[in-house]
Structure 1
Amino acid sequence: MEMFFYLVFGALGAVVAALELSKTNKDRINTSSAFNSFKNNYLLVYSLMMAGDWLQGPYVYYLYSTYGFGKGEIGQLFIAGFGSSMLFGTIVGSLADKQGRKRACVTYCLTYILSCITKHSPQYKILMIGRILGGIATSLLFSAFESWLVAEHNKRGFEQQWLSITFSKAIFLGNGLVAILSGLFGNLLVDSFSLGPVAPFDAAACFLAIGMVIILSSWTENYGDPSESKDLLTQFRGAAVAIASGRSSMYEKIALLGAIQSLFEGSMYTFVFLWTPALSPNDEEIPHGFIFATFMLASMLGSSLASRLMARSSPRVESYMQIVFVVSSVSLLLPIVTSFLVAPSNVKSGGISFSGSLQLLGFCTFEACVGIFWPSIMKMRSQYIPEEARSTIMNFFRIPLNIFVCVVLYNVDAFPITVMFGMCSIFLLVASVLQRRLMVIADKPKTQEWAMKERDAEAEPLNL
């Protein structure tokens, strides 16, 4: 493997270590022992859940190919997963708010375990069922756990600012360290122990089962809307009205937040499909697993930066995220820029090209932005989404995301790769504009309050 990859990985690792070791009291928030115990319990469960998810990711396509399925059939299986998340996500989100978030988290474990079991069958219909179950599980992973955390955090009377600690640590561990370790562990099972491509799915099921036991034994139940008179349809309609209505600044904040999330995550999932052909357009030999680990290390760097930013009162999350979206937009323009400025290589195979090396640095920058995005969007969701329908609304956000990803998957060969990256870059710029609007709306109450005080101060001499 080329020295360049080791240099990039080593540099990122050194920066992450330096950031974590150099944290001062200004970068930390003083908390209570009760909160630390609560936080550590959640982080353990979340890390196990993410291990169950990350172990599967690198081997899904490979497993299907070993069963003899072609690119078209595999694409249909992937579309089924995203389509399932889109169709059933809002329903399971509403059920989580109504029937309990703890039950929803347990349902996630059971559903994903069943999805893992289906991977033992080479039959297309069984694998399709597994993808549908996986789509449902994904919806629960990205809504039920966060909803349970926010509700339980508030129910126990912890300070609101402490939520940012849990969010940043969850991303640092679950989307960074656990992802790297899961990739290495999966590689150990498949290559070193020669257990076959289904082994990571069995390991994922074991981690999910362990996490489920911890949930059942240590978590308490919490709900969304406490009204027992509201049925599922009424709750679903209420969440839709909350997003669609523009008559209130609160509803506009929810709509803006949903659009921002869909634009960023849509670009992120598109990047997942595009980075391999971007770095190896001539079938260059690149270490996919090592590059994946490098991306996850860059994401850890981003989450470490986010923890510092959110520990301070300034800059606010609504402010610095505008810059993050602009930087991420520029980073995804590199494949377009290099296609004009750097002469394309016609050498088949071989090592990574010069343009590929530049793009890798840009992609690491984008992944660092992803690391900042996750805890920051979680904090904004905790501030703006009403508690009574949190899981429902969060899954509403995923509807346009899943539609977008399905369209990209269906037409991935129809457009040049530069067009796809350009589209993602534009989406991220739009997200920055919407983030600016969100910040303006969030500042309105404070501006109005200041104006009222100023008016009262001016009127006071007249009263004398």
Structure 2
Amino acid sequence: MEVFYYMVFGGLGVLVAALELSKSNKDRINTSSAFNSFKNNYLLVYSLMMAGDWLQGPYVYFLYSHYGFGKGDIGQLFIAGFGSSMLFGTIVGSLADKQGRKRACVTYCITYILSCITKHSPQYKVLMVGRVLGGIATSLLFSAFESWLVAEHNKRGFEQQWLSITFSKAIFLGNGLVAIVSGLFGNLLVDSFSLGPVSPFDAAACFLAIGMAVILSSWGENYGDPSESKDLLTQFKGAATAIASDEKIALLGAIQSLFEGSMYTFVFLWTPALSPNDEEIPHGFIFATFMLASMLGSSLASRLMAHSSPRVESYMQIVFIVSSAALLLPIITSFLVAPSKVKGGGISLSGCLQLLGFCTFEACVGIFWPSIMKMRSQYIPEEARSTIMNFFRIPLNIFVCIVLYNVDAFPITVMFGMCSIFLFVASLLQRRLLVISDKPKTEDRALRERDPETEPLNI
């Protein structure tokens, strides 16, 4: 392995350690012991859930290839997963609001465990069923757990600002440390112990089962819509009305779809971008490096959210602009650096520059997750939280399916350029969200200046 990879990984490790160790009391929020116990319980469950997800990610394509399927068949399997998430996501989100978020989290565990079991079969139809189950599970992972957390946090009367602590820690652990350890553990099972490409899926099922046991034994139930008379169609209409009638919710959904669509596209593009001539690159180590960069971002986000200024709506504009610039690097290097025509070998100069840009993008991803969670907790109504959050994922899944279907139709630079444009548009929408979120406060201040005895406006 080239020294360059160690230098990047080591540099990011030093930055993360320095940022964590340098936090002062001003960067921390004083909380209660009851909240700390609640937070730690959620972080344990979330980490186990993410371990079950991260263990599978690096080996899905490899397993299908191991079973002898070609790129086209594998692409259809991936499309089935995203399509399933799009078609069933809103339904399961609505059921979570009505039937209970704890039940939805348990359903996630069961569904994903069944998906893992299907990986033992080389039959295409069985694997397709597994992808459908995995798509449903993904919808629950990114809606039910957050919905349960926000509702339970408010039900227990904890300070609203304390939510940012749980969000940032969840991303720091679940999308950072756990992802790195999961990647290394999966590599140990497959390569060192020679247990085969299905072994990470078995390990994932075990972690999911442990997490389900913790949920069943320690979590309380909470609901969204308290009305038992509302059917799914009524819930859908209510969620659609909330999005259409509140510009802040609509903007938040558009921002999320643009960023996550670019992020999932990046997942498919970074490998060919770094090895256009079949250069030998350490995929597992690069993945771990990306996750370390994400940890750096989440650590920075926790520091930012511990202060009242700058607001989340404000600094996220900068994050989107930086991420847009980072994904322009493959286009810039294609003009500035002469492409190598030598097959194989180590990473090129262009690849090294792109890797640094991709790490910058992953750091932005680390900032994005806890920040978008914080904004969702502020703007999305509690009674239909899971439903609305899964509505947001519909355009995202459509976009990713289109990209997967046409991944060979466009040059890779065009794909990165498209993602960069989407991220720039997200920064413009974030600016609009900042402006309209400030309006009620400005009107409130103006009203109180005219009449000091006037009650503050309800925001």
Global fold match (TM > 0.5): yes
3-state SS of 1:462 partner: coil
CA distance in 2, matches of 1:149, 1:209: 20
Cα deviation 1:230-261 (Å, max 9, x = unaligned): 122111111011112xxxxxxx1110000000
Cα deviation 1:197-224 (Å, max 9, x = unaligned): 0000000000000000000000000000
Equivalent residue, structure 2, for 1:197: 197
The Cα shift of 1:456 comes to 3.2
3-state SS of 2:126 partner: helix
3-state SS of 1:458 partner: coil
CA distance in 1, matches of 2:223, 2:240: 19
Pair 1:453–1:279, CA change in 2 (3 A) = same
Native 8 Å contact 2:84 2:132 kept in 1? yes
Between 1:68-77 and 1:224-233, the stretch displaced more is: 224-233
The Cα shift of 1:458 comes to 13
Cα deviation 1:267-324 (Å, max 9, x = unaligned): 0000000000000111111100000000000000000000000000100000000000
The Cα shift of 1:459 comes to 13
Pair 1:452–1:352, CA change in 2 (3 A) = same
The Cα shift of 1:7 comes to 0.2
Pair 1:26–1:340, CA change in 2 (3 A) = same
Pair 1:462–1:69, CA change in 2 (3 A) = closer
Cα deviation 1:358-381 (Å, max 9, x = unaligned): 000000000000000000000000
The Cα shift of 1:454 comes to 2.8
CA distance in 1, matches of 2:53, 2:425: 30
CA distance in 2, matches of 1:72, 1:281: 20
Cα deviation 1:148-198 (Å, max 9, x = unaligned): 000000000000000000000000000000000000000000000000000
CA distance in 1, matches of 2:235, 2:338: 57
CA distance in 2, matches of 1:458, 1:173: 47
1:102-251 to 2 correspondence within 5 Å? 102-244=102-244
The total of aligned residue pairs comes to 457
Pair 1:119–1:443, CA change in 2 (3 A) = same
Cα deviation 1:33-79 (Å, max 9, x = unaligned): 00000000000000000000000000000000111110000000000
1:380 has 2:402 as partner: no
Pair 1:459–1:368, CA change in 2 (3 A) = closer
Fraction of identical pairs, as percent: 91
The Cα shift of 1:462 comes to 24
Equivalent residue, structure 1, for 2:448: 453
The Cα shift of 1:136 comes to 0.1
Cα deviation 1:77-128 (Å, max 9, x = unaligned): 0000000000000000000000000000000000000000000000000000
CA distance in 1, matches of 2:104, 2:457: 60
What TM-score results when the alignment is normalised by the length of structure 1?
Answer: 0.97
3-state SS of 1:120 partner: coil
What TM-score results when the alignment is normalised by the length of structure 2?
Answer: 0.98
The Cα shift of 1:347 comes to 1.3
CA distance in 1, matches of 2:456, 2:338: 74
CA distance in 1, matches of 2:441, 2:155: 27
CA distance in 2, matches of 1:69, 1:382: 42
1:315 has 2:310 as partner: yes
CA distance in 1, matches of 2:77, 2:65: 12
CA distance in 2, matches of 1:461, 1:363: 45
Pair 1:241–1:359, CA change in 2 (3 A) = same
CA distance in 2, matches of 1:356, 1:4: 11
3-state SS of 2:456 partner: helix
Please give the root-mean-square deviation of Cα atoms over the aligned residues, in Å: 2.8
The Cα shift of 1:229 comes to 1.9
Native 8 Å contact 2:176 2:291 kept in 1? yes
Q: Gaps (5+ residues) in structure 1?
A: 245-251
Pair 1:210–1:345, CA change in 2 (3 A) = same
The Cα shift of 1:457 comes to 6.8
